[in-house]
Amino acid sequence: MKLNSDQKKFLDYYNSLPRTSHKIPSRESLKIQDIPELLGNITILKIVSEFEAEITLNGSLSEELLNTSLTGVNIYDLLEEREKILNSYLLTQVMDQPCAGSSTMIGTITGSHVTATHNLSVPFLALDGKSISILVYQQFNTVHADRYTNINKSLDAIHISHIEDIYTYDIGYGIPEDDGTIAKYNASLEA
């Protein structure tokens, strides 16, 4: 996936931050005043285990456009089994290499006309100084949220049908080799 100007700006900002002994920037190094125009699109994931990644902060623009509050939600609760495996694979690469990763999630959300979410994920050392968090810069296609008085609170309102355009980007430590997981996933879509 070719990065657009805002995604490139986000990745350039990330790459400009000082690195910790873990090869990645600390969450403390992120300065809101440096990227105010991008903040509404940023979501923070706390990685708990292979299939548990809690959204600890969902950007205000993301919540508005998706018409859904996802703070506190495990992202894997939104995915079918094959998408869970692929998403876990990508986030593991992002943390372990480390590298940046991108994907496009295709689906529907009740009360929103968002049909695709383009995600650019980068690792950060969490505020506790031990665990790794993932910052996700999100952009949306076919954006038009129906204005309801209450935003969706039910996970049943979200359906992710599949994931496309999975890529990794070098942040100074190379790009991990694909072990066949992406090809296997793409073949499952064609079956």
Cis peptide before 98 (omega within 30 of 0): yes
Q: Which two tokens stand for residue 93?
A: 């690469």
Q: What is the CA radius of gyration of the chain?
A: 16
Q: What does the domain layout of the chain look like in residue ranges?
A: 5-190
Per-residue exposure over 1-27, b if at least 16 CB sit within 10 Å of its own CB, e if not? eebeeebeebbebbeebebeeeebbbb
Q: Which two tokens stand for residue 183?
A: 């090809």
- The reply to whether the predicted model has a pTM over 0.85 is yes
The tokens 């299939």 sit on which residue?
Answer: 51
pLDDT in tens, the chain (191 residues): 688 899 999 999 999 999 998 899 998 998 888 999 888 899 999 999 999 999 999 888 888 777 777 889 999 988 888 899 999 999 999 999 999 999 998 887 766 666 788 999 999 999 888 899 999 999 887 644 444 444 444 556 677 888 988 999 999 999 999 899 988 988 888 87
Alpha carbon distance 50, 63 (integer Å): 25
CATH level 3 topology of 5-190: Beta-Lactamase (3.30.450)
> Which of 42, 50, 35, 116 shows the shortest CA–CA distance to 89?
50
How does pLDDT run across 111-158, given as a tens digit for each residue? 666 678 899 999 999 988 889 999 999 988 764 444 444 444 455 667
